[in-house]
Amino acid sequence: MKYDCAIIGGGPAGLNAALVLGRARRRVLLLDDDKARNRVTREAHGFITRDGIKPADFRKLAHAEIAQYPTVEIINKTAISITRQSKNEFSITTLEGITFTSTKILLATGLKDEQPNIPDIEKFYGTSLFSCPYCDGWELRDKPLAVIADKNVYKLAKEAYIWSEDLAVFTNGEGRLEWEERNRLLAKGIKVYEDMISGLEGENGQLQSVRLEDGTLIDRSGGFVTPVWSLPHTFAEGLGCEMNEFGGIQTDRYGRTNVWNVYAAGDTAHIVPAQLVIAAGTGSAAAIGINGDLTNALFDGE
């Protein structure tokens, strides 16, 4: 069977796109490897009616809703290649060697996080250390927090200050704090540490202190870090998609890339700002673009 659209990625963007396309009676394949970036997070926030939901519960609810639409098929497989066969046909191959064909492709695979090179950081990421103050700042409000970043540290510190004025900024020996930025932080009572971090201490995912290279311990109860984000695949590059200034896939407001029949949504395209509700919204917009283009082709022969 040839699908109208194959969606690669089952996060909020891909799921919402599948819902909208299913309601439009399109034949949809959604391939999901179940490796969502927010799987390490206990709760997801900022999504109206779903504030505080567990990521696994969000996906379970979404799958149940999509199951009402018989033209949508969700398969738990990892796509490893996408090949254009003709103007209006792509083949998608999975890790197991299974091949599917589709008229259109929606890339919604999200991003891959690469954490700062700090020992033990993975033990705390998603539990007491987070990347987005808007997503997790409320839960950390008024606590003594660490802001750990080697890029955009000043911006992150300013944002975090809204939720807690007890901040300590760590540039880990590599940060790019301008003299004026540093003085502005100090003027707000924000401590700045430019030494290398030798480790993080705490138990059960709860940060207790940041250990500097000279052994100094700075008590902290949580905080924010800036990971390096990248696409978890080479699909966009292989298909010839243009990239935007943030490293995501360049799209128009309906998810269209510069490559005919290839679309992108969610964090894959809109790296900043990155929130569950924004990703879902871009998935919906992309689905409307896909359905509109399929309809135009039916009537206009495009």
Query: What digits encode the pLDDT tens for the residues 61-103?
Result: 999 999 999 999 999 999 999 999 999 999 999 999 999 999 9
Q: Can you give the pLDDT at residue 175?
A: 65
Domain positions in the chain are 2-111+231-300, 114-225
Instruction: Domain 114-225: give its CATH code.
Output: 3.50.50.60
CA distance 50 to 277: 10
Using CA atoms, how far residue 185 sits from 134, 156, 207, 218, 223, in Å, is 20, 11, 23, 17, 16
Averaged pLDDT for residues 36-43: 66
3-state DSSP assignment of residue 219: strand
Q: Whole-number mean pLDDT of the chain?
A: 93
pLDDT of residue 94: 96
CA angle 61, 63, 66 (to 5 degrees): 110
Q: What are phi and psi of 210, to 5 degrees?
A: -105, 125
> What H or E segment, with its residue span, contains residue 238?
helix 235-239
CA distance 302 to 297: 4
Contact (Cβ atoms closer than 8 angstroms) between residue 241 and residue 258: yes
Taking 80 as the threshold, does the pLDDT of residue 39 lie above it? Answer: no
Mean pLDDT of 211-233: 92
Domain covering 2-111+231-300 in this structure, CATH number: 3.50.50.60
- The answer to whether residue 111 scores a pLDDT higher than 90 is no
Residue 228 pLDDT class (50, 70, 90 cuts): confident
pLDDT of residue 221: 97
Q: What does each C-alpha distance from 30 to 5, 70, 87, 154, 228 come to in angstroms?
A: 8, 13, 21, 39, 27
To the question of pTM greater than 0.85 for the whole model, the response is yes
Q: Is the pLDDT of residue 38 over 80?
A: no
